[in-house]
Amino acid sequence: MPRNMPHPATLAAQALGWTDATTGAVVMPLHTATTFERDADNQYRRGRVYGRADNPSYDQPEALITALEGGAASLLFSSGMAAATAVFLSLPLGAHVIAPRIMYWALRRWIMMQAERGVLTADFVDATSLDAIRAAVQPGRTQLIWLETPANPTWSISDIAGAAQLARQAGAILAVDSTTATPVLTQPLALGADIVMHSATKYLNGHSDVIAGSLTGARRDALWERLVATRGGNGATLGSLEAYLLLRGMRTLYPRVERACRSAQRIAEALAGHAHVEAVLYPGLPDHPGHAIAAQQMTGGFGGMLSVRVKGGEAAAIAAAARVELWKRATSLGGVESLMEHRASVEGPGTPVPADLLRLSVGIEDPDDLIADIEAALTR
């Protein structure tokens, strides 16, 4: 590593500058071994025992995520859900947790299912309000405050530093799903969080060809050891090829996210006040309720995600989505291609998502083309 620590964009582009010790290759080799040989005296001095926990393909991507997040260590998982649920499964049985009302729907549903089984107890709150989080804290029982900011799919903003203070006062940990912000825009650990989680499927990979997740810890403490054990014990491990592709994707993380942010800002401004748009939900707009906090804790942009509420309700929103030509009607986010989705249809009955909402994941295409396409779909 150079004497002066490079900018994070340089660390990402060069994948920490690692080269293969044997060949000098600047691209990480793909390790597919599932088991490793003992020394003659029955020891494992090379540090590898079995591929589920000791995969060499994890070393470089985990180290890069750790460097970008400013953490002590990172773990790769087989999916974002595997990473997120590992945090909850590492808590004491019956632990009380606080989570946002607006969050990734599959994780919200999973938490509710665990609460029904008695694995944990949960309160879902307006996570944009520190007062609401404070009111939900149960002294001596609350073990975890979970945030997602910006929160999918309304892109509401939570105050990470304020929530971290509440967690410390309660003796709880603060975990932040920073999938949308990415380490390019926000470093939750620097704001006081204990754990930062990514659905690495999204922006970290950025090419819609890998399912992966990650956790990064502020400390290698007892909680971190439980997370390590949970990953291995549950078999929630990533394949070697997926680790390889994830690292490849992270090398272009900064230019991809920076371009998506610029384009999303332009699209949000172009659609705000459109005759067929009820509202544009994007933290980069000054009238967004979370704009001020987002400006404090997000640097370099407000993300590549926005949502549009279409005048005319659900039918008008679905009809507009049917008419786009460049935007792809698909779930997920964070890829190089721009995606559009009628989100309430995905989440189903009981969703808090408005029926007239279209979720937009802005890729790296020319923003004028994307604006023209969605405006034509809205006005036809």
Q: In this predicted model, what pLDDT tens digit does every residue of 156-182 receive, in sequence order?
A: 999 999 999 999 999 999 999 999 999
The pLDDT > 90 percentage for the chain reads 89
Per DSSP bridges, beta strands 142-148 and 173-177 are parallel
Q: What are phi and psi of 280, to 5 degrees?
A: -115, 125
Residue 258, by phi and psi: left (phi above 0), alpha (psi -120 to 50) or beta?
alpha
Contact indicator for 195, 175 with CB cutoff of 8 Å:
yes
Distance, CA of 172 to CA of 12 (rounded, Å): 32
The stretch 81-87 carries a mean pLDDT of 98
What is the spatial distance between Cα 195 and Cα 190, in angstroms, rounded to a whole number?
Answer: 11
How confident is residue 51, by pLDDT bands cut at 50, 70 and 90?
Answer: confident
Query: Mean pLDDT for the chain?
Result: 96
Is the distance from CB of 98 to CB of 135 less than 8 angstroms?
Answer: no
Say yes or no to pLDDT of 3 above 70: no
Task: Indicate if the pLDDT at residue 55 is higher than 80.
Answer: yes
- Residue 24 CB neighbours (<10 A): 7
Q: Residue 319 contacts by C-beta under 8 Å, 6 or more apart in sequence?
A: none
Q: Which CATH architecture has domain 254-379?
A: Alpha-Beta Complex (3.90)
At residue 59, does pLDDT exceed 90? yes
Parse the chain into domains and list their residue ranges.
8-250, 254-379
Q: Could you give the CA distance from residue 131 to residue 133 in angstroms, rounded to a whole number? A: 5
Q: If you write DSSP's letter for every residue of 330-344 in order, what string do you get?
A: -S---SSS-EEEEHH
What confidence score (pLDDT) does residue 335 get?
A: 98
* Catalytic residue of the set 54, 159, 177, 194: 177
Spatial separation of the C-alpha atoms in residues 358 and 142, rounded to whole Å: 35
Q: Tell me the β-bridge partners of 48.
A: none
Sign of CA dihedral 21, 24, 30, 32: negative
Within 52-141, strands assigned E span: 73-77, 95-100, 120-125
Question: Given this model, what pLDDT does residue 226 score?
Answer: 97
Share of the chain above pLDDT 70, in %: 99
Q: Is 177 a catalytic residue?
A: yes
Q: Which of 104, 203, 254, 282 is catalytic?
A: 104
**Which single residue is written with the structure tokens 């990979």?**
205
% helix, strand, coil for the chain, step of 5: 40, 15, 40
How far is it, in rounded angstroms, from Cα 61 to Cα 180? 19
Beta-carbon contacts of 189 under 8 Å, excluding residues fewer than 6 positions away, are 69, 70, 71, 196, 216, 218
Is 50 designated active site? Answer: no
The sign one gets for the Cα dihedral 287, 289, 292, 295 is negative
| Residue found by looking up tokens 């530093």 in the block | 161
309 is catalytic: no
* Phi/psi of residue 359, nearest 5 degrees: -95, 130
Confidence of residue 5 (pLDDT cuts 50, 70, 90): confident
Say if residues 373 and 326 touch (Cβ distance below 8 Å): yes
Average pLDDT over residues 42-59: 88
* Residues whose CB is less than 8 angstroms from the CB of residue 353 and which lie 6 or more positions away in sequence, other chains included: 105, 153, 154, 343, 344, 347
pTM of the model: 0.95
Catalytic residue check, 104? yes
Cα–Cα distance, 349 to 128 (Å, whole number): 24
**Statement: residue 147 has pLDDT above 80:** yes
Unique residue bearing structure tokens 């890829």: 335
Which range is least confidently modeled, 175-184, 257-266, 286-295, 345-354? 345-354
pLDDT of residue 1: 45
Extract the tokens encoding 308: 């549009």
pLDDT for the residue numbered 340: 98
pLDDT of residue 350: 87
pLDDT tens profile 97-115 = 999 999 999 999 999 999 9
**Choosing from 58, 108, 202, 244, which is the catalytic residue?**
202
Report, as an integer, the average pLDDT of 75-87.
98
CATH fold of 8-250, please? Aspartate Aminotransferase; domain 2 (3.40.640)
CA distances from 34 to 20, 54, 210 (A): 20, 9, 20
